[in-house]
């Protein structure tokens, strides 16, 4: 019971650190008049995925000491991706996402499915090596470069930013990073101990519990963005976070210590991720409804079913 309590405390720390950092980052980017698309797919995507990145960093270094925590890394990455698309879109869909410009469908489909396919190819032999990890990192860097130089056509009006002073924003960013570092260490240690105490695999605990907890920053940002009529910010954050989770999180982990990929990831987690990615793309770009209550309910059913199956495996 203590391990579970510490796990919850670690997840709460990840959420708190992300919230502190995200709000400071939004203030800085609004100060420099950066578009919602760039904020969402770059700044917020990286900021809200810091929990997964810090977990991958901490767990991979612990793996170097002889304790294989590959399941924690790949589970949190894939579980968080599924949570962001199925759970976060499912919950916030009851607020409502309007349909997006269809011209963006090809670009975002290439990014999302390309990242998944590359992760799948590297995972087929059951191991993501250090060199493959660097390939994943390099591909994410190429994605960032593409996004930076892509001309934004986002025409959504931005709300007046409630900016904080520059020095205060930088201090908040440093404080958020410190909180994330400590919370990631607590989360990894307590998740491993909790999994052992209840007879669950590291993969199951990380995919469901850590994946759910690390999706809280995206959920918070999405709700705030929708209430401020900045849906592009939310969509960009969620899609950008999924690209990062598929490339940079396992890439960082494997570059430090090679990742052992369980077979179940190939026949359960990645197919579910492909399914919810396809549904979200169709709902957002090819349906005049966008994501509303019916679409949101379907995504929540898929996530609940996935979580139940993953826990018992």
Read off the pLDDT of residues 77-121 as tens digits, 9 standing for 90 and up: 999 999 999 999 999 989 888 888 887 788 889 999 999 999 999
pLDDT of residue 251: 96
Mean pLDDT, residues 195-216 taken together:
80
In this structure, are residues 217 and 26 in contact, taking their beta carbons and an 8 Å threshold?
Answer: no
- 61 domain-assigned: yes
- 189 domain-assigned: no
Handedness of CA 184, 185, 187, 192 (dihedral sign): positive
- 209 domain-assigned: yes
In this structure, are residues 205 and 189 in contact, taking their beta carbons and an 8 Å threshold?
Answer: no
| Of 77-86, 129-138, 145-154, 239-248, minimum mean pLDDT range | 145-154
- 62 domain-assigned: yes
Kindly report whether the global pTM for this prediction surpasses the value 0.75.
Answer: yes
Mean pLDDT, residues 131-159 taken together:
75
- 23 domain-assigned: no
Euclidean distance between CA atoms 227 and 183, whole angstroms: 29
Read off the pLDDT of residues 229-242 as tens digits, 9 standing for 90 and up: 767 777 887 888 89
**Which segments of 66-149 are extended strands (E)?**
127-128
Read off the pLDDT of residues 286-306 as tens digits, 9 standing for 90 and up: 988 889 999 999 999 999 999
Note the Cα 203 to chain centre separation in Å.
Answer: 16
More confident residue, 33 or 105: 105
Q: Is 291 helix (H, G, I), strand (E, B) or coil?
A: strand
Q: Based on the structure, what is the number of domains in the chain? A: 1
Q: What CATH number is associated with residue 140?
A: 1.20.1420.30
Q: Is 101 helix (H, G, I), strand (E, B) or coil?
A: coil
b vs e for 41-75, b when ≥16 Cβ sit within 10 Å of the residue's Cβ?
Answer: bbbbbbbbbbbbbbbbbbbbebbeeeeebbbbbbb
Mean pLDDT (the chain, rounded)? 83
Assign 3-class secondary structure to 217-240.
Answer: HHHHHHHHHHHCCCHHHHHHHHHH
**pLDDT band at residue 68 using 50, 70 and 90 as cut-offs:** confident
Enclosing domain of residue 71 = 36-151+203-312
């Amino acid at each position: 019971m203590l391990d579970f309590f510490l796990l919850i405390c670690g997840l709460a720390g990840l959420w708190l650190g992300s919230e502190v950092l995200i709000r400071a980052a939004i203030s800085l980017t609004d100060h420099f008049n950066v578009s919602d698309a760039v904020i969402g797919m770059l700044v917020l995507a990286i900021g809200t995925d810091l929990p997964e990145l810090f977990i991958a960093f901490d767990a991979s270094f612990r793996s170097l000491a002889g304790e294989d925590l590959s399941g924690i890394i790949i589970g949190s990455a894939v579980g968080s991706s599924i949570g962001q698309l199925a759970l976060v879109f499912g919950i916030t869909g009851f607020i409502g996402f309007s349909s997006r410009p269809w011209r963006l469908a090809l670009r975002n489909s290439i990014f999302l499915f390309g990242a998944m396919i590359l992760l799948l190819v590297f995972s087929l032999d059951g191991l993501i090596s250090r060199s493959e990890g660097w390939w994943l990192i390099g591909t994410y860097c190429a994605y960032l470069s593409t996004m930076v130089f892509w001309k934004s056509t986002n025409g959504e009006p931005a709300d007046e930013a409630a900016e904080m002073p520059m020095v205060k924003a930088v201090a908040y960013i440093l404080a958020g990073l410190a909180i994330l570092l400590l919370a990631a260490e607590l989360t990894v240690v307590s998740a491993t101990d909790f999994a052992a105490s209840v007879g669950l695999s590291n993969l199951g605990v990380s995919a469901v519990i850590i994946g759910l907890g690390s999706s809280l920053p995206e959920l918070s940002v999405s709700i705030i963005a929708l209430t401020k009529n900045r849906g592009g910010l939310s969509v960009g954050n969620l899609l950008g976070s999924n690209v990062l989770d598929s490339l940079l999180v396992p890439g960082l982990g494997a570059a430090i210590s090679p990742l052992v990929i369980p077979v179940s990831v190939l026949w359960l987690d990645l197919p579910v991720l492909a399914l919810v990615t396809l549904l979200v793309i169709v709902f957002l770009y090819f349906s005049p409804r966008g994501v509303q209550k019916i679409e949101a309910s379907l995504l929540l059913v898929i996530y609940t079913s996935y979580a139940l199956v993953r826990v018992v495996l």
